[in-house]
Structures are given as C-alpha cells and as structure tokens.
Structure 1
Amino acid sequence: MWKALWKEWTIDKPALLGDWLWEVLVVQLAALLDRLTLRKVIAFLPVIVVVLAYHHQIPLPPELMLVGDVLAYIDIVSVLLLLGILSRVTTILFLIKQATARIAGFTSRLATAAGRLDLRHRRESGARIRKRLPDRSGNDSDDEPIMAGGLAWA
C-alpha cells in the first residue's frame, strides 16, 4: 500500500501536473495566440488603462476615455476615415478633370484661331505688292495687337 501511494504521489501526480501545465501553457496558449488579432489587442487596451487607473486611484480625463472609445470602435472609425479620404480624392480628381477639359478647349480654340491667321503660307516671291488703303482711324494697324483665342499676339 505504501509503495502504491508513494508511486502515485511521486510519479503519477507530478506527471499529471506536467501534462496539465503543457496543455495550458503551450497548447491552449498557442490556440489563443492564433485567434488573437491586432484589432482585439487594440480594443482591449482601454480596459487595461481603466483597470490601471482605478487601481492607482488616478482620475481619468474625458479625452482619455474618448481615445479608449475610438480604440474600441477602431473598425467604425477607420471606415469613416477612409470615406473622408475617398471623398477628398474624388473632389481632387473632379477638379483635375475640369482643368484638363478647360485646357483642351483653350488649346483647340487657340489652334482654330491660329489657323485663321494663316501664318504658314507666305507670299510668292514674284507677286505684286498691293497698296494698302488708308486707315480711317489714322493709326498704323501694325502697332495694334492681334486677338486670337483670348490671347494677344504682338
């Protein structure tokens, strides 16, 4: 009887304790760490802050509690932040689209006006020079700027 009792308390019970410690500290801890995510850790931080503050009897400012709420609801806050960023991006893209449309319209009007000036074709070398009619305003028309497509050509 004493031998069986000695064997149970020196071999079997410590072996059971070792098996139990292995199960809790290795197997179950690994399973817990597999299920643990960054979101869960961040959501648990306010709980730790509140427990430490009450344990040390430190009064908590409302801003710290608000930070705790933001951390607890980080998924909702991140969605709102992303929506705000996307709305700004779409606004910027709309402004860029409008600016490119205005630049394209301006260049097409400028090309049309420059085509009307017909600066590409010069007179033939043997052509007769026409006499100019006298200007009614009295000033030389070469001094006036030429308006083409909203720009003044000097």
Structure 2
Amino acid sequence: MKSWWRKWSYEIPLAIGDALWEVLVVQFAALLDRLTVRKVIALIPVAIIVLADYHRIPIPPELMLVGDFLAYIDIFSVLFLVGVLSRVTTILFIVKQAAACIARLGGSAVAHVQRRDMRHRRQRGTATRRHRKPDRSEDDRAFGGVWDQAALA
C-alpha cells in the first residue's frame, strides 16, 4: 500500500511534469529554433485559405493577391537583394579607390619627407668651406702655370 501511495502521489505527478516540460518547453524551443521568417510568411496564405474555407467566407481578390505575393516572396526578396548588392559593390569600389588614393598619398608623403632630411640641411647664408685644389705637379710649377693659361685660352 505504501509503494502504491508513493507511486501515485510522487512518481506519476513528477513523470507528468517532466513530460509537460519536455513538450511545452524543450520541444517548443527546438521548434522556434527551426522556425524562420520565411516559413512564417509562407504559412500566412495557407492560414487565410483555411480560415476562409472553414467559415465559408468568400475571399476578395485583394486578399488573394496578398497571398500570391507572400507565396512568391522568395523571388521578390532575391530581386531586392540583387538591387542592394549592386549598390554595395558600387560603394565597395569607391571605398577601395579611396583607400588606394590614401595609400598613394601616404607613400609619396613618406618619400618626400625622406628626401628632405632636415637634420643635415645647411642654413642659408652661411659660408661654405673652401675646397682644396689638388697640388700642382712639378711641370706646372716649373713653367709658371703655362699649362693653366693654355687651358683657359
């Protein structure tokens, strides 16, 4: 008798609670994970037709057109995405060209800065060092710089 009481007062309600948890929470969450917007939109025309048939309500043509639009939502969404992608590719092309222009300007600026080395630049107006002339040979000294005069003439 005690085991019967324990089974019906404790184990069976727990088993029912576990089964309800499994169905209403776990499996419902799994269903919602698999459910997409596309599937929900595809069910709307079916629901309209079922409700109209169940209540014997004539369906107006506008509602049928909405149902057709929802049935062909894949085609409309592909056309919409192609339109958006063409704009995206144009924007990406412009961004790529702007990045190349910035890289080119940055490279030329770096090369320009490297050419103008400010650390070793001489100030204007300062006297420069005189360069030594090479020593004159014995022939030049012997004839009094005749060879220099001949070169100038």
TM-score (norm 1): 0.48
Larger Rg: 2
> Counting helix residues as a fraction of each chain, which structure ranks higher?
2
Q: Which has the higher contact order (CA 8 A, sep 6+)?
A: 1
TM-score (norm 2): 0.48
